[in-house]
Amino acid sequence: MQKQRIRSGKRPLYAAVAVLVYAALFGLSSVGSYVMAALVFYLAYGLLKRRFPDRTVELPPRTGDEACDALILEGRAALEQIGAHEAALDDAQLRALAASIGRRGGQILQRLQERPALAGDLRTFLRYYLPTAARLLDACVRLDGGDAAQDVRARAKEALRRVDGALSRQLAALDEYRLLDLQTDMDVLEDMLRRDGYAQPPEGGAR
């Protein structure tokens, strides 16, 4: 995914204010004073990096295919949810699964952005697996303690491993310029989710 680094506009502004304060206190009457003013600016600019860091933002997809761009944006939104849930989880195994799903999902979206003709083939796959992972992780974040919660968490881990495995296989296939038909895998996972009360297809339908 293409990213752009955005520099904070406040750093040079406040660094310039520091120079003005220096000039007001000590004056700018010699070459040495101008050198000191420049040093004040760069010192202030460097110190302000911690207070006003640069931001890195993802650029909107521009594949030339509006449907593909929309699918990529949907996928990014699901990955943002997965990342937020990962940060909120206490369980190390769940965090690792969330990180792996997020990484592989992002790589698949990158392949899609590079090859927008895949949008039709990957639409069902992406609209099913990524929202399903986000929904499972959200449920795990909301779980309290107790034996019942441990049982639910264990079943959620099993489902998430299936999601991660499907992403891994699809990514490997894409790197070999082929696609996998994972409908059978989706059916098995959906049956598992239905038994556990998680079978809530995302808006627009994934099936």
Judgement on whether residues 23 and 125 belong to the same structural domain of the protein:
no
Number of domains the chain is built from:
2
Judgement on whether residues 34 and 107 belong to the same structural domain of the protein:
no
Judgement on whether residues 73 and 158 belong to the same structural domain of the protein:
yes
Judgement on whether residues 78 and 113 belong to the same structural domain of the protein:
yes
Between 151 and 183, whose confidence is greater?
151
Judgement on whether residues 90 and 175 belong to the same structural domain of the protein:
yes
Half-sphere exposure of 32 (CA within 13 A, CB side): 1
Cα separation, 28 vs 8, whole angstroms: 28
**Whether pLDDT at 136 is above 60:** yes
- On the 0-12 / 13-18 / 19+ scale of CB atoms within 10 A, 9 is exposed
From 22-31, 66-75, 108-117, 179-188, the region with the lowest mean pLDDT: 179-188
Judgement on whether residues 40 and 76 belong to the same structural domain of the protein:
no
Give pLDDT, residue 138.
92
Judgement on whether residues 43 and 68 belong to the same structural domain of the protein:
no
Match 């556990």 to its residue by tokens.
196
Write out pLDDT tens, residues 164-188. Answer: 999 999 888 888 877 666 667 777 7
Give pLDDT, residue 72.
92
Averaged pLDDT, 78-104: 94
Averaged pLDDT, 99-110: 94
Give the confidence band of 196 by pLDDT, cuts at 50, 70, 90: low
In a domain, 172, yes or no: yes
Q: Which domain holds residue 11?
A: 3-55
Judgement on whether residues 25 and 119 belong to the same structural domain of the protein:
no
This model's pTM is above 0.85: no
Give pLDDT, residue 8.
63
